[in-house]
Amino acid sequence: MHFLQQVINGIAQGCIYGLIAIGFVLIYKATETVSFVQGELMMLGAFLGLVLITVLGIPYWLAVPATLLAMMAFGFLVERVAISPILGEPAFSIVMLTLGIGYVARGAVMMIPELGTELQVLPVPYRDQSVAIGGLIIGMERLVVPAVTAALCLMLYLMFRFTRIGVAMQAASQSQSAAYYMGIPVRRLNGLVWGMAAGVAAIAGLLLAPIVMIDSNMGFIGLKAFPAAVVGGMASLPGAVVGGVTIGVIESLAGYLLPEGFKDVAAYVVVLIMLMVRPNGLFGGEVRKKV
Amino acid sequence: MRFIFKTSYDQDIRLARHSGYVFWYGLLLAALSVAPFVLPVYWSSLITMTMIYGIVGLGLMLLSGFTGLFSIGHAAFMGVGAYMQGVLTAQGWPFPFALAASMVSSAAVGAVVGLPALRVRGLYLAIATLAFAFIVQEVIVRWESVTGGNRGMAVGMINLFGWKTGSPIVFYYICFALTVLTTLGVLNLLRSPTGRAFVAIRDSEVSAQSMGVTLAYYKTLSFAVSASLAGLGGALSAHMLRFITPDQFGIVQSIDLLLIVMIGGLGSIHGAFFGALFLILTPQVIALSKDYLPPAIGQTVGLQSVLYGLVLIAFVLFEPTGIYGRWVKIRTWFELAPLYRKNLLKRQRRFQKTERLT
C-alpha cells in the first residue's frame, strides 16, 4: 500500500517536472536554444498567484487566469527584449543570458519586503481535502496535478494538430527558413512560444505551490526538468511529460526503497545513464550527423 | 603607435611580445609582491581570494574558452579538491603533497566526467556535468564519517613539513606563487601542440579530427587539466575559509564560475582574472554603497543577485567578448589614436552551429 502511495506521489511530482520540461522542449524546438530560466518562471508564476490572492484579495478562480495571462505576456516580453536580438549567436551565450534573467528574477523576488524571504503558503480552494480510494488516501492537491497536466497536454495536442498557429509552429520548428519563405512570421511565433512556455511554467508553479511552500529558491526544481526533457528526447512534447513522470516515480521510489540520499540524486543518475546508453532519449530517433 | 618587426620565428610564440609586456607585467608582479605589507589585511585577503578564483577561472577558461566544452558543474571539482585537502591536512600531510593529491583526485574525477563528452555534445554535455556535480555534492553530504556531512568540516592550518602557519601573509605568497605558476603553465600549454589541438576542437570538431586530433584523448585531457586547476583552487579556498560545507560547492557556485569566464571574456587568459576580480569586488562595492542607497533597496538580500544578473545580461547582449574585449577596444583606440574606426573590432556575426541533425 505504501508502495502505491509512493507511486502516486511520484506521478504528481513528475507531472510538475514534465510541465517545466514542456517549456524547455517548446523553446528548444522553436529556437534551438535552451532556457535555464524555466524554473524561475515557475517561481514567478507561483509568487504572482500568491500576491494576487493574499495581498490583493482576488478570488482563486480569477487569480489563476490573471496569473497565466501576465506570465505569458512576461515570457513574450523576455523573448522580445533579450532573446531575439542575439538569436543565432553561439548557443551558450543564450544559456548564460537565461541564467542571468534567472538571477534577476530570483533577486527581484527576494527584494520584495516580507514576502520574498520567507516561506509562503498559497491558499487554494482544494487545500486539505483528500480522496480515499480503496484504502489509499490521496491529498487533493496531488490528484489535481496529473488531471491538469493531462488536460493541458490534450489542449496542446489539439492546438498543434488543428489550429493554424499550431501548424505554423510545427513548420517553423522543422525548418525556420522554409517556414519563413512560406510567409510564416517566425519571429512573432518565437515570442509566442516563449509566452506559452512561461504560461505552462506558471501553471506548474500554481500546481506545485500547495504541495511545497513557495520561496524564492523553488526555481531550482527546474533543474530537475532537464533530466525529464533528456529522458523524453529533448525534442518531443509527449516525451517531456513521460520523461517527467518517469523521473518523478523513480525519485519517489528511490526515497522509499533505497537509503537516504538517493532520492535527491536519482534524477541525475537516471539522466547520466540515459546519456550514456541512449543520448537521443526514449522518443528520439537514431540520427547521424552528416558532414 | 608601435610597430613590431619580426626578425625570428620565435617572436610569434614568445610570451612577452614586446617591451611593453615586460614593463607592465613586471610592474603588476612588483605591486602584488609588496601588496600585503602596504595594504590593510582585509584588502590583501581580497586579493588572495581573487587569485584563488582566478586559478579556478583559468581552469574553466581552458575547458570552455579554449576547448569549447561547457561545464555547469565545475564547483564539484573545487569541492573534491577542498575536501581532499581538508582530510589530508587533518591526517598530517605536508601542504605541497596534500595539494598535489587534491589536484590529482580532482583530475581523476574530471576525466570520469569527460567520458560522456565523447558521446554527447553541447547542451547534453552541459546537462551531464550538471548531473555529475549534483551527485558529487550528494556523496560529500552523505559520506559523513570523512566529510562531516552537512555540518561541515574545519580545515587545519598549512603544514609546511612540520612548520604550521596560519599567517595570512604566508598564505598570500603561496597563492601568489601558485597563481603565477598556473598562469605560465596554461600559457605554455596553449602554445604547445596540445593547446593548439584544444583550440582546433573548439573551432570545429570535424576538421580537428580530420587533421589527426584524437577527440577522445584531448577532450578527456582538457577536462582533467581543467578539473585539476579547479581542485587546486578548491584546496586553496579550503585553507582560506578554514571551514567548508557541501553547499559552498553547489550549483550556485558553478554558475558563479561560469560568470567569471563569461564576464571576463571567453577565450582569453586575462578574462579569467578580470572575471574573478568582478566576482570578488561586486559584493564589496554593494557593501560600501549600502549606506548611500535607500534602505528599501540597499538592505535587501536580493540586490547582489539582481546586479550579477543584470551585468551578465548586459555583457551577453552588448559585449560578448567580456571585460577583456572591452579593454582591447580601449587599448586599440589609444594605440591608433586618431585613426580608430568605430567598427574596427566589430565582431563578425558568428552563426550558431546547429546541433539539430535532421
| Binding-face residues of B in 22-61 toward A, CB within 8 A | none
| Binding-face residues of A in 219-278 toward B, CB within 8 A | 220, 223, 226-227, 230, 234, 260-261, 264-265, 267-269, 271-272, 275-276
Residues B317, A85: C-beta atoms closer than 8 Å: yes
Q: Is residue B7 part of a domain?
A: no
pLDDT, residue B186, reads: 93
pLDDT band at residue B176 using 50, 70 and 90 as cut-offs: very high
Residues A97, B296: C-beta atoms closer than 8 Å: no
Q: Is residue B39 part of a domain?
A: yes
Q: Is residue A289 part of a domain?
A: no
| Binding-face residues of B in 107-136 toward A, CB within 8 A | 116, 119-120, 122-124, 126-128, 130-132, 134-135
Which range of residues forms the domain containing residue B220?
A: 19-339
Q: Is residue A231 part of a domain?
A: no
Q: Is residue A135 part of a domain?
A: yes
Residues B303, A103: C-beta atoms closer than 8 Å: no
Matching residue, cell 582560506: B240
Contact A96/B254 with Cβ under 8 angstroms?
A: no
Residue B344 above 90 pLDDT?
no
- Tell me whether B6 touches chain A (CB under 8 Å): no
Q: Is residue A269 part of a domain?
A: no
Contact A32/B356 with Cβ under 8 angstroms?
A: yes
A/B interface, count of CB pairs below 8 Å: 151
* H or E element that contains A49: helix A38-50
Give me B333's grid cell: 583606440
Q: Is residue B350 part of a domain?
A: no
The CATH number of whichever domain residue B182 belongs to comes to 1.10.3470
Contact B153/B86 with Cβ under 8 angstroms?
A: yes
pLDDT, residue B20, reads: 79
C-alpha A213: how far from chain center: 17
Number of C-beta neighbours around residue B238 at 10 A: 29
Q: Is residue B141 part of a domain?
A: yes
pLDDT, residue B358, reads: 39
Matching residue, cell 565582431: B347
Which range of residues forms the domain containing residue A164?
A: 12-221
Amino acid at A203: I
- Chain A residues whose CB is inside 8 A of the B132 CB are 268, 272
Q: Is residue A128 part of a domain?
A: yes
pLDDT, residue B202, reads: 86
- Chain A residues whose CB is inside 8 A of the B302 CB are 106-111, 116, 216
Q: Is residue B344 part of a domain?
A: no
Name the DSSP class of A64: H
The span from the CA of A226 to the CA of A34, in Å, is 10
Structure confidence by residue, pLDDT tens digits, B274-303? 999 999 998 888 888 777 777 666 666 778
Give me the number of domains chain B comprises: 1
Q: Is residue A196 part of a domain?
A: yes
Residues A97, B316: C-beta atoms closer than 8 Å: yes
pLDDT, residue B346, reads: 65
Give me the number of domains chain A comprises: 1
Q: Spell A175-213 as b/e; 16+ CB within 10 A means b.
A: ebeebeeeebebeebbbbbbbbbbbbbbbbbbbbbbbee
Q: Which residue of A has its CA nearest to B118?
A: A276
Per-residue pLDDT of chain A (291 residues; tens, 9 = 90+): 778 888 888 888 888 889 888 888 888 888 778 888 888 999 999 888 888 888 888 888 888 899 999 999 999 999 888 888 887 777 778 888 888 998 888 888 888 776 666 777 777 777 777 777 777 777 777 888 888 889 998 998 898 888 988 888 888 888 778 888 888 888 888 889 999 999 999 998 888 888 887 887 788 888 888 888 888 877 778 888 888 888 888 888 888 887 777 778 888 888 888 887 777 777 765 555 544
